[in-house]
Amino acid sequence: MPSSWGLGDGQQIPWEYAPAPESREIVQLKSRYGLFVGGKELAPRSGQWFTTIDPATEEPLAEVARASVEDVDHAVGVARRAFRREWGKLPGRERAKYLFRIARILQERSREFAVLESLDGGKPIRESRDVDVPLAAAHFWYYAGWADKLEYAFPARDPKPLGVAAQVIPWNFPLLMLAWKIAPALAAGNTVVLKPASSTPLSALFFADVCRQADLPPGVVNIITGPGEIGLALVKHPDVDKVAFTGSTAVGKQIGRAIAGMNKALTLELGGKAANIILDDAPIDQAIEGVINGIFFNQGEVCCAGSRLLVQESIAEPFIERLKDRLSTLRVGDPLDKNTDVGAINNAAQLAKIEELVEAGQAEGADMYQPACELPARGFFVRPTLFTNVSQSNRIAQEEIFGPVLSVITFRTPAEAIEKANNTPYGLSAGVWTEKGSRILSMASKLRAGVVWANTFNRFDPTSPFGGYKESGFGREGGLQGLLAYLDLGEGH
Least CB distance to ligand NDP at residue 194 (A): 10
Q: Which is nearer to ligand NDP, 163 or 170 (CB)?
A: 170
* 331 vs 260: CA distance, rounded Å: 46
Least CB distance to ligand NDP at residue 50 (A): 9
Q: Which is nearer to ligand NDP, 167 or 276 (CB)?
A: 167
Q: Which is nearer to ligand NDP, 112 or 399 (CB)?
A: 399
Q: Which of 127, 211, 303, 373 is catalytic?
A: 303
State the burial class of residue 492 (Cβ atoms within 10 Å of its Cβ: 0-12, 13-18, 19+): exposed
* 384 vs 345: CA distance, rounded Å: 11
Specify the 3-state DSSP secondary structure of 39.
Answer: coil
Least CB distance to ligand NDP at residue 131 (A): 15
Least CB distance to ligand NDP at residue 460 (A): 13
- Please report, for residues 220, 291, 317, 462, the alpha-carbon distance to residue 176 in angstroms, rounded to integers and kept in the order given: 19, 22, 37, 11
Q: Answer for the pair 177, 170: CB distance below 8 angstroms, yes or no.
A: yes
Phi-psi region of 276 (alpha: psi -120 to 50; beta: other; left: phi over 0): beta
Q: Which is nearer to ligand NDP, 270 or 484 (CB)?
A: 270
Instruction: Specify whether 16 is catalytic.
Output: no
Least CB distance to ligand NDP at residue 354 (A): 8
Q: Which is nearer to ligand NDP, 128 or 434 (CB)?
A: 128
Q: Under the rule (CB under 6 A), what is the footprint of ligand NDP?
A: 168-172, 195, 197-198, 227-228, 231-232, 235, 246-248, 251, 254-255, 269-271, 303, 350, 353, 400, 402
DSSP secondary structure string for all residues of 350-395: HHHHHHHHHHHHHHTTPEEE---PPPPSSSS----EEEES--TTSH
* 145 vs 390: CA distance, rounded Å: 47
* 186 vs 104: CA distance, rounded Å: 16
Q: Answer for the pair 235, 168: CB distance below 8 angstroms, yes or no.
A: yes
Q: Which of 22, 269, 400, 477 is catalytic?
A: 269
Least CB distance to ligand NDP at residue 320 (A): 25
Instruction: Specify whether 269 is catalytic.
Output: yes
Q: Which is nearer to ligand NDP, 159 or 271 (CB)?
A: 271
Which amino acids are annotated catalytic?
Answer: 269, 303
